[in-house]
A and B are shown apart, each in its own frame.
Chain A
């Protein structure tokens, strides 16, 4: 084994975008037949590095060697010829075309042949190897995320991939799909493939990989074995500072304080004949507590959030917001929606406008019907400092920010006016360790201030660490958990029971 050249060797890769360095002299070696984890926060340069390996980006300087041979950089064709196959975080599939057509599009060399027998055999071989079944004639848009990912992996393998790059492969998967993926990855490594596994989730990487490399702000800060490193140490290397995951010290059991938000027998459904999406929901949020709501995605959490925020009306039941039955959420509430891009932000507008979305037409931001942009800017600049939003300036479009910074913009807008109650849905989805800690700390600060918080969250560990009480959504019903004995195992069972 020692004589085998490394599958991949990068030396002094340098890349900057518009003068901002994204990768700063990264050198890396990946042993053949290994599963190599690439860790780093959002914006650390993981994806940029992988795109360079795959030939989608051309580095400013630096060189690459594959299996001991110097490989040209900056060409997808060349990289593929050298056996690099990449599965992107956002799949690069043509939705309207069938699975087979997508694979043929990517794999075949001929312009004419569309039903190459070689391709079919290849697909068949890999499906058997991984024990997968693919519905080749189905349009890709009709497949679930997990299936689409399999199409991407098969596509990469059929393209002659010897070195497979998986960019954030678990971000969109359910826990069961993650397990299946990790056994497939192990199978590929056994078959002699080299797998580069990119993630910002520590647990997955340490479970699947024996060797990791950690990137921080474009620099390689660690490359070596996982054994002997604690989670805490890895997290510190990623963030570059001590990280403590915020944790609620003294959960409240039954708050005596004022009820800020109350749902009484709320039902919700879309059509009259459709099955109910929410049935008989009763809940209360008191001042100074965090009510956590757990559940497997798609059990009514999105509908509950919509009903609470007032974007849809329940078909039955009452919602008391701040002690009054009113249809819309009052100004002193805050909402951190599930989908940053679609519901929380206007991606094409600058940071300053996004920060002022809720109050641009109130004093002092407007006078005599005219916007006072000076006030906007001073206010926005203060918020950016306070919430540590990192960008080149307040006039940058929000879509140019990293995910963590986008979420900080949302938090800054929603939480800065000391709202009475807060609805937060998956507020840390897609965020790295540092940003996650920041978001949870903000919620805990709001709680300490006396706000009532309802936290609908898919990450059970985070949910349990900050919630006073926890309830479980299953099949549109809200199930209370015994207090204070809510454990991870009990809640996990409640989430899945009967499903």
Chain B
């Protein structure tokens, strides 16, 4: 850890690892917002994804089953949210807050029940050996300096996320489906006149977003950590909301924002460890700083970046306006 190249390799790899779940949840949230629905409850959906993936993997011993369960759970959360906002015309901010609280509470409750149940049966609550995912290195490509370990020694879901990003970017910019999704949030009456069913379209976008959030939750619990803890998303769902604005509702901007957040996050983790091991007196002096301060840094950076970058951001015009909208 004392040579600079090692350090860069380590940091870049950590950055991608930390950014992946946010990119995944962010792509979904972006599509949802473009269609005119903001879901501020993705934190809740991610947490439900975490617990679903963890418990199903724990019971079945198959990580893939856990991942699928997380995606289905995210979809179920999206169905509830879509029913309330798209079909029931509920305010999206209020309904989203409710979805967040639901996710936090329900995932914690399921976690306690799961622990009791497993312990009564005499099982461990830890994941069965080998059931969680491990990083999947791609031969040859992993040997590229710096970039190799960052992008080619990751979990399978990270590769899928990269493919998803490319696919969604292409879809948004080069297909009629992309036009429809953007028009849903910007000019739903144009969609309606074109024979596109606005509420159905928005519901589909929300289902996609929910699936993504669920998968992002699975990434946190059965890939990155192999553990579950209450509130383990730590506000990442909300940071994703900010990063969508930061990226001005464009996919490349969103991905860049997520990587930036991931970089700050891995920097603060490195700093936390380095202050104890380093001989450098300045770094060593940081041992007196509480660790929470370091944990706060990425969020501070997110707020600062948002304040600087998001002036006059032109978001979709029909966010939080239910269809059919009252005239004038």
Contacts and interface: CB of A to CB of B under 8 A. Distances in A.
Interface of A: 54-56, 75-77, 80, 86, 88, 92-97, 101-102, 104-108, 110-114, 341, 347, 399
8 contacts: A76-B192, A80-B195, A86-B193, A94-B183, A96-B186, A105-B194, A106-B194, A111-B175
B193 A95 contact: no
Contact of B327 (A92, A104, A112, A399): A399
A97 B176 contact: no
A473 to B, nearest CB: 30
A92 B190 contact: yes
Contacts of B191: 105
B112 interface: no
Nearest to B326: A399
A401 to B, nearest CB: 11
Interface in B131-190: 174-180, 182-183, 186-187, 189-190
A101 B179 contact: yes
A94 B318 CA distance: 12
A146 B192 CA distance: 22
Contacts of B180: 105, 111
Given A92-B189, A94-B183, A105 B195 contact: no
Nearest to A110: B176
A93 B190 contact: yes
B186 A105 contact: no
Contacts of A106: 190, 193-194
A86 B189 CA distance: 13
Nearest to B183: A94
Given A77-B195, A94-B183, A105-B183, 10 more contacts: A54-B193, A92-B189, A94-B187, A95-B186, A97-B179, A97-B183, A105-B180, A111-B180, A112-B176, A399-B327
Nearest to B194: A106
Interface of B: 174-180, 182-183, 186-187, 189-195, 314, 326-328
B185 to A, nearest CB: 10
A75 B175 CA distance: 25
A114 B175 CA distance: 5
A92 B188 CA distance: 9
Contacts of B174: 114
If over half of A's interface residues share one DSSP class (helix, strand or loop), that class is named, otherwise mixed; here it is: loop
Contacts of A104: 176, 179
Given A105-B180, A347-B328, A113 B175 contact: yes
A405 to B, nearest CB: 14
A203 B253 CA distance: 54
Given A106-B190, A106-B194, A112 B179 contact: no
A73 to B, nearest CB: 14
A17 B192 CA distance: 20
A111 B172 CA distance: 11
A110 B178 CA distance: 12
Contacts of B175: 111-114
B195 A95 contact: no
Given A76-B193, A86-B193, A106-B194, A93 B187 contact: yes
A142 to B, nearest CB: 15
A97 B182 contact: yes
B190 A102 contact: yes
Nearest to A92: B193
B195 A76 contact: yes
A94 B190 contact: yes
Given A92-B192, A93-B190, A105 B326 contact: no
B190 A105 contact: yes
Nearest to B174: A114
Contact of B176 (A88, A95, A113, A399): A113
Contacts of B195: 55, 75-77, 80
B193 A56 contact: yes
Contacts of A101: 179
A96 B187 CA distance: 9
Contacts of A110: 176
A74 B146 CA distance: 60
Given A92-B187, A97-B183, A347-B328, A114 B192 contact: no
